[in-house]
Amino acid sequence: MVIEDLEKYAKEFHIPIMEKDGIEFLTSYIKEHNHIQNILEIGCAIGYSAIKMALVRDNIHITTIERDQERYLKAVENVKAFHLEDRITILFKDAFDVIVNENYDLIFIDAAKSQYIKFFEKFTPYLNKDGVVFSDNLYFHGYTKQKTRIESKNLRQLVQKLRKYIVYLEENKNYVTEFYNIGDGIAITKRR
């Protein structure tokens, strides 16, 4: 199996995986920061981004969380196909039910867009001193920057929550965030 097979599968079965330039940005960042070894990912889907991150260096370990059974099972299969079972731990759980007992160099938030503030608050206590948080989909296909009213109520509420998350990061006294116009909008957050 090659990584393109995962991209094809995601496209065919409408699995939302990271956009190409987004994942390149994330993996380049990991490559450039040698101290990053222990990664937590919230939102595994079929294991695409976890596998891409693990392939950066042999000393990287990833814990990734997925609550959808079908996607979890596919991720298990994919991780096996890449012989990465020793370095990628997949938890079949809702992220809010996960008990964390270690610290991470990088936390990647890529799950339910309406819950980003809650994910951030639950998991950042486990961020190492010089750790970083990556958050994906902050532009949400351009909707978070759209000035005109969004017709669909569900979409409008979701976009409002993402906008709240952006403000939350901008105004956070303990963390500093840089926003990047890459992929679907990525934020990198560090402790002040």
Contact set with ligand SAM (CB under 6 A)? 16-18, 43, 45, 48-49, 65-68, 71, 94-96, 110-112
Q: How far is the CB of 156 from ligand SAM (least distance, A)?
A: 20
Q: Which is nearer to ligand SAM, 105 or 110 (CB)?
A: 110
**In the complex, which residue's CB is closest to ligand SAM?**
43
Q: How far is the CB of 84 from ligand SAM (least distance, A)?
A: 14
Q: Which is nearer to ligand SAM, 70 or 130 (CB)?
A: 70
Length of the chain equals: 192
The rounded distance, in Å, linking the Cα atoms of 36 and 107 is 10
Q: Which is nearer to ligand SAM, 66 or 105 (CB)?
A: 66
Q: How far is the CB of 119 from ligand SAM (least distance, A)?
A: 8
One-letter amino acid at 100 equals V
Q: How far is the CB of 10 from ligand SAM (least distance, A)?
A: 7
Q: Does an H or E element contain 183, and which?
A: none
Which residues touch 88 (CB under 8 Å, ≥6 apart)?
A: 47, 50, 51, 54, 61, 62, 64, 79
Q: Which is nearer to ligand SAM, 58 or 97 (CB)?
A: 97
The rounded distance, in Å, linking the Cα atoms of 7 and 23 is 12
Tell me the HSE value of 97 on the side-chain side, using a 13 A CA sphere.
Answer: 7
